[in-house]
A and B are shown apart, each in its own frame.
Chain A
Amino acid sequence: MRLNAHKLTKWLDKWQPPPWHALLLRTLLYSGLWWVLTEGQGSLWIGALLALAIAFCAPLSVATWPAQLRWWKLPAFILFMLKLSLKGALEVATLATSQRCDANTLTYSYRFRFLTQPYQQLLMANLVNLTPGTLTLNVHHDALYIHILHHHPDVEAQLKLLESRIAGLYGLPQRSMV
């Protein structure tokens, strides 16, 4: 109980009201989530009040989109990921149904070229798992340790392309392209 009180005091010391635009964005996002989760049947007032309360209480670093995110690039990025995902699923399906599971598996260390922030690297680590033939084993010292299910020359180029697309999403300068 004393520990909880200590945590509460620490949280109160750190807490500061979010800027109005972050508050507005969060309230809209959480109200939208309430509407979706209640399938449009829940009380809007309760949803808006809950959304406002959570938007006020959550730390600034949580549930706020990074300011540098290029929103307009998001639909094209989602389409790009869906295409890669489908390609990956077809590759796995082909291997799984082939008479001999003759996969050329190996591990590979991919060093980040543009992504420097931990949250950007974490996003790439997660997305690597959805791209054809690659699985993140570990993120360590600015590099991804990757398991490749069936190695072919396109894999490295595909990883570089994925990193450039994520860098583009965050508006990061890309010194040397593939």
Chain B
Amino acid sequence: MRELLGAGFIILGIPFFIASTLGLLRFPDVYARLHALTKADNVGLGLICLGLAVQANSIAVALKIVLIWGLILLASSTGATLIASSALRHGSAPRRRSDKDTHADR
């Protein structure tokens, strides 16, 4: 039963990773791409970690997996702001809707 539940969570997590990769390829600028990496990826990873934690043999292992997810959330969120502020400082202005979107039809 636990294996089945764990596998269910892992399978649920995969579409979020695929969506995040699509966002990374299709979104028009660095800022929009960071949205894909900080949101869809983290939920996908969270579901996969949850699936692995459910299948773990002990509470300590399950907590370790959840701790890994928590640390990745923290690193990804902080890293996104650092990358965005660095991009902004170096002159890459965020795109507006009115700007011509060359990636939209890909």
Contacts and interface: CB of A to CB of B under 8 A. Distances in A.
Interface size class of B (residues with CB under 8 A): 35 or more
Contact of A93 (B40, B74, B95): B40
B23 A36 contact: no
A103 B94 CA distance: 12
A6 to B, nearest CB: 30
Contacts of A145: 88
Interface residues of A, number: 39
Interface in B59-93: 59-61, 63-64, 67, 73-74, 76-78, 80-81, 84-85, 88
Given A35-B60, A39-B58, A149-B32, A96 B78 contact: no
Interface of B: 15-16, 19-20, 22-23, 26-28, 31-32, 34-36, 38-40, 42-44, 46, 58-61, 63-64, 67, 73-74, 76-78, 80-81, 84-85, 88, 94-97, 101, 103-105
17 contacts: A36-B67, A37-B67, A39-B61, A40-B58, A85-B43, A86-B43, A92-B40, A96-B22, A96-B36, A105-B94, A105-B96, A132-B39, A135-B34, A136-B80, A137-B94, A138-B88, A149-B32
